[in-house]
Amino acid sequence: MVAAADEGTTGTGITTPPRRSVVFTYGTLKRGFGNHALMEELMRSGDAVFLGSYRTQENFPLVCGPYQVPFLLNLPGSGERVTGELYGVSSGGLARMDELEGTSRGHYERLPIKLVVLEEGEAEEAEAYFAHSSYARELWMKNGRRGLSAYSENEARGYVKRNERPQHLTFLNHIQLFVSAASDEPSDSSDPLTCNELDALNLN
């Protein structure tokens, strides 16, 4: 079920346009990150509106996969409370976001999620793009069962856009290669690092 906002005022005093889905973004769709151009385009066309900064009500694992792609895992109770941005999106805008996130190709799943405004307010119902259940648990194990509370500039430094990755492999091929690589083997310099591995390098 899509979380839809009727015209009116939410518990946080935000007026949302009629018949819009409410979507929580936690990674590259946020302001200042690699895919935010899509949200800017949707806002210019009237197909999206920024609603504010929010945090998940429950803990969820936020991890990086190949090429520093961020993934929210549908494993409530693990990880941290994750911060991100909330948008009201038209049906046309939602279709554009679904295409980017590969929901029809088994890349991500758009699922309900409960959020609170960062200053702690009433819970808001929305949706978020979770890593597909077919590989989510493997990603959690690959990241040492450690998650982030936010996808920041630190993690995004290693992000590689889809059109700049090897084109002979599909997105799911990249995921499978990433999760199947032994963590204790020396990494080739071209191998993508997890967020935790990148953080360790930056601390040294």
> Which residues are designated catalytic?
101
Measured between alpha carbons, how far is 107 from 67 in angstroms, rounded to an integer?
A: 15
Relative to beta strand 124-131, strand 20-25 is parallel
Q: Annotate 18-83 with DSSP letters as a single string.
A: TTEEEEEE-STTSTTSTTHHHHHHHHHTTSEEEEEEEEESS-B-EEE-GGG-EEE-S-TTSSBPPE
Q: Tell me which residue of 36, 22, 25 sits closest to 150, measured CA to CA.
A: 25
Cβ neighbours for 29, distance < 8 A, ≥ 6 positions apart: 35, 36, 38, 39, 85, 97, 100
